[in-house]
Amino acid sequence: LYQRRNTMDPVEWFSSLPLITRTWLGLSAALTGAGYLDLIPIHQLVFDPVRIYQNLELWRLLTCFCFCGLHEFSALLLLYVIHLH
């Protein structure tokens, strides 16, 4: 009658990604969503060498690579590209 397709739910799909891709995609989605919802000020996510060296804000070395911007379509496109590579 009905044949079940081999589809994965989102949790299985996310778990099947390689560790680096899964971590980068998860951080990128979380930081982009938090920035879009104003949970984290965007100026805290950008690369600022003065604040990194003078105030030891070391998270800026990572967050600048994980924030995809506030435009919805471009952020979704960047997350999709991260998933592909």
- What pLDDT score does 58 carry? 92
Residues 6 or more apart in contact with residue 58 via CB below 8 angstroms: 52
Pairwise CA distance, residues 85 & 76, whole Å = 15
Question: How high is the mean pLDDT in each 10-residue block of the chain (85 residues)?
Answer: 67 88 89 89 89 92 84 76 74
Pairwise CA distance, residues 27 & 20, whole Å = 11
Q: Which two tokens stand for residue 71?
A: 């435009």
